[in-house]
Amino acid sequence: MDGDRIEEATLANSPADEISHLALDIGGSLIKMVYFSTGREEEQQQQQPIGKTQKDGRLLNGRISFLKFETSKINECLDFISSKQLRCSRGVQHSGFPASDKNIIKATGGGAFKFADLFKEKLNINLDKVEEMSSLVSGANFLLKAVPSEAFTYVNGQRNYVQIDHNDLYPYLLVNIGSGVSMIKVDGDGKFERVSGTSVGGGTFWGLGKLLTKCKSFDDLLEMSHQGNNRVIDMLVGDIYGGVDYLKIGLSSTAIASSFGKAISENKELEEYKPEDVARSLLRMISNNIGQIAYLNALRFGLKRIFFGGFFIRGHAYTMDTISVAVDFWSKGEAKAMFLRHEGFLGALGAFMNYQLVKEFPNSNPLVSDLTDNGIIDCCVQVSS
């Protein structure tokens, strides 16, 4: 985590950067940050759109940076913002953004409430709260419409990018797997309803996994799960049915009949299992469960497309595979699980969109890689003259 932060901080501290607008999604586990920075004035003048007057403002080139911190280490986030303050206030004049934006940050997630006083006390910054579900939806809608190849399916270890027809995007189910899980039926821009949720989410995987395997980081837990074999601990249909399928109810002998079920019949202690196998069973149990609940909600509202976001996924092959298989299995191939390249930043991006700055991404494919960690994309924003 520290490594992520430092690497990005170095990039973001480039002297050419002038941060003007910053938005936060302060969740139960992670703080996601999105900020817009411009180059220096002379650099800007060399770039095409700057100074190009539009009817309602002018276009400004810049980049959007994505960064995350652990919520339990919020001081790192405060220090980062504090280190940007001077630059930020110079940038405000420089870029032509209204000076009144200087001490206000758009923020969403529970931490926008929980830490509002801390931001005021330590940084003299007011958090302008943006509702969490609405941020997730505007972040997802924006990405699905503005970023080519944002969404993809994951089948048999293969990513297939989905071209989204803007006129045929709605309705869809957005499943955000953060600490807990929210399921939102999205019918349009600003038109949505949170239809379900479950407390068995990313926090459960990380929390239980940490207790059971003693691993030190989330990435270690994921890596362990990658190495493990869930059949060691999960009770399979074949374990119960003497190695044969139970085809009458559509279950193959290799299907999981009972997650962690073998731990009872084998009467072993935790120490006798490999942590890798425990991590694998846990990941499979939680991903399966979320996939199934998501499918049931899609069925409830007749939705064919389910987009999964949230930092739990982390672009992890086995997680995406399990969720895809669960959706495919329960829907008998009717519904499709889709994933997003900016999976973890939906809320932060949605809060950022609330500034109503972003006009366009100038490149046809501005994303060179996934944003499961930190990163930067070029963009062009419109500011009032």
CB 108, min distance to ligand PAZ, A: 10
Q: Is the peptide bond before 98 cis (omega within 30 degrees of 0)?
A: no
- CA distances to 71, 155, 289, 376 from 106, in Å: 17, 37, 33, 19
CB 372, min distance to ligand ADP, A: 8
- CA distances to 18, 147, 320, 378 from 363, in Å: 21, 10, 28, 8
Q: Which 231-290 positions form the footprint of ligand ADP (CB under 6 A)?
A: none
**338 scored as a contact of ligand ADP (CB under 6 A):** no
Of 91, 139, 178, 309, the residue at the interface with ligand PAZ (CB under 6 A) is 178
**179 scored as a contact of ligand PAZ (CB under 6 A):** yes
Q: Which 5-44 positions form the footprint of ligand PAZ (CB under 6 A)?
A: 27-28
Spell 128-147 as b/e; 16+ CB within 10 A means b.
Answer: bbbebbbbbbbbbbbbbeeb
Q: Which is nearer to ligand ADP, 141 or 179 (CB)?
A: 179
- In degrees, rounded to 5, the angle at the alpha carbon of residue 294 between the alpha carbons of residues 347 and 375 is 30
Of 180, 209, 291, 375, the residue at the interface with ligand PAZ (CB under 6 A) is 180
**108 scored as a contact of ligand PAZ (CB under 6 A):** no
**200 scored as a contact of ligand PAZ (CB under 6 A):** no
The closest of 172, 173, 169 to 183, measured between CA atoms, is 173
Count of residues near ligand ADP by CB under 6 A: 19
Distance CA 275, CA 78 (A): 35
**314 scored as a contact of ligand ADP (CB under 6 A):** yes
**69 scored as a contact of ligand ADP (CB under 6 A):** no
Q: Which 118-137 positions form the footprint of ligand PAZ (CB under 6 A)?
A: 132
CB 150, min distance to ligand PAZ, A: 20
> Tokens 């953060």, residue?
178
Instruction: Give residues with Cβ within 8 angstroms of 326, minimum separation 6.
Output: 287, 288, 290, 291, 292, 295, 337
Stretch that binds ligand ADP, among 26-34, 79-87, 138-146, 152-160 (CB under 6 A): 26-34
DSSP state of 90: H
Of 163, 199, 267, 364, the residue at the interface with ligand PAZ (CB under 6 A) is 199
**30 scored as a contact of ligand ADP (CB under 6 A):** yes
- In degrees, rounded to 5, the angle at the alpha carbon of residue 346 between the alpha carbons of residues 135 and 90 is 80
Stretch that binds ligand PAZ, among 196-204, 207-215, 218-226, 257-265 (CB under 6 A): 196-204
Element counts in the chain: helices (H) and strands (E): 13, 17
Q: Which 167-206 positions form the footprint of ligand ADP (CB under 6 A)?
A: 178-179, 202-203, 205-206
Distance CA 138, CA 6 (A): 29
Stretch that binds ligand ADP, among 86-94, 259-267, 297-305, 311-319 (CB under 6 A): 311-319
Q: Which is nearer to ligand ADP, 179 or 354 (CB)?
A: 179
Q: Which residues pair with 154 in a beta bridge?
A: 159
**365 scored as a contact of ligand PAZ (CB under 6 A):** no
Of 49, 57, 148, 197, the residue at the interface with ligand PAZ (CB under 6 A) is 197
CB 314, min distance to ligand ADP, A: 5
DSSP H/E element including 320: helix 317-331
What tokens were used for 174? 């957005």
**309 scored as a contact of ligand PAZ (CB under 6 A):** no
- Given ligand ADP, ligand PAZ, none, residue 238, with its beta carbon under 5 to 8 Å by kind, binds none
DSSP 255-289: SEEETTTHHHHTT--GGGS-HHHHHHHHHHHHHHH
The residues of the shown chain that bind ligand ADP, judged by CB under 6 A, are 1, 27-30, 70, 109, 178-179, 202-203, 205-206, 218, 310-312, 314, 344
Q: Residues interacting with ligand PAZ, by CB under 6 A?
A: 27-28, 109-110, 132, 178-182, 197-199
